[in-house]
Structure 1
Amino acid sequence: MPESTHSATQSFSHSTQPRFAIIVAGGTGTRMGADRPKQFLELLGEPVLLHTLRRFADPAVEVQQCVVVLPADQFETWQQLCADFAVTIPHAVVAGGESRWASVRNGLAFLASEQAGIVAVHDGVRPLVSAEVINTTYTAAAEHGAAIAAVPVKDSVRGLAQQGSYALDRSRLRLVQTPQCFELTLLRRAYQLPELPTFTDDASVVEDLHPIRMVPGDYRNLKITTPEDLIVAEALLRAR
């Protein structure tokens, strides 16, 4: 596969490009205090991960290939859940790595035969993402090369200092969500570089190669991390 030569100032095509999605689900459920990984917890009677997969299988977002990245020892559990819930959504399952970075890289490797397109990376435990947010992020990435969903900070924010703390201007801060969408060859280039401790998401992997465009996220697009998040997610789903 030839390496992309996109520069930070290059314009990306506005034409329709194939869409791919890598759904990363590597959680263990430790902070949930649960007996199973959080992606397999039930949300209104169905696994969290199934809700998430269904969002990207929505015909309104026109994703051509969904890749679910799971720890290898969770394959059998997911296969059984798919049977129990009669899941017919086409998707590939790929083994994750020791870190989120390695898991995304493995998901990208599955798409090695694809020559071009836009790829979204999404947390498997963000089951409430809307078609509008997904489409907006894909569209912005098709135009600008890299785009992420984010929301303004509601609370006052302070930074830690050696002698106490200091106020930060929250108007200049955003809470980053997923999906994070990228031109496929750009994301491949980024993941050819060595992993660094500063890589907390895909935008941080890409940002040295290309500017990151932010688009409006949704406060309802929460990441299920603690038991309280599950309660809120159920309430939001019931309200739809």
Structure 2
Amino acid sequence: MPPIYAIGDIHGQKEMLDHALALITADGGDDAQIVFLGDYVDRGPDSRGVIETLMAGQSAGKPWTCLLGNHDRFLARFFREGRQHDPRVKSGLNWLNPRLGGVQTLASYGVHGEMHFAEQEFGETEELLHSEIAAGRITPDALIAAAQAAVHENHIAFIESLPLWHETEQLLFVHAGLRPHISLPHQDPDDLIWIREGFLETGHNFGQLVVHGHTALDHPQHFGNRVDLDGGAGYGRPLVPAVFEGRHCWTLTETGRVPLLP
């Protein structure tokens, strides 16, 4: 079987994505099979550019599989419904809060603004009061309308088409993880893009090696039954691609492969 490559959470870091793709090309050629683990948008400066890169690669016939991440769904839901919250965000933060990164994503599409929120107690949903843009103060509804006019419909359709997992005989790729003892078709879709508790601490043998992102670390790590490839690019740390041959894993660097061991 040829090697399969994977890239964790990109979070709008287009330059880091380009560098990761160059490392993969150097190791596996132009037609390397790549699985992207979701969270293409938010926090970084060029979410639009990341989406365009992924769409262009697939349109060119590259064997790229792009999975859905929770931040990608945030963007799609804001565009379709104006939804600013998800109940899985325990802090209640608004997607437009810079900590979650929606404001940076909209800026990459040309909708620049400073968000003003109502005072919030921890756990309460954070409510947007208004936005300050170059033309002045606008209401939340006006901001939603501006986003719907600026974000490309085909970018949203791309996000809405993304699968929740990809599997080979020995590997299972998913954005966040999954619950032990539940078959893949019966997993809660929300868990597949949000789960931490119940997954990160388990030593359960899932049969396949689970390759995921979502939980940011300082560097990708191998935990025996799973590999977490979210090295924190959304917080400015490097985006480190990996390559798998069977269950064996290496990260890719400028000087070649580095074994990633449990």
Regarding TM over 0.5, the answer is no
Q: TM-score, normalised by structure 1?
A: 0.29
Q: TM-score, normalised by structure 2?
A: 0.27
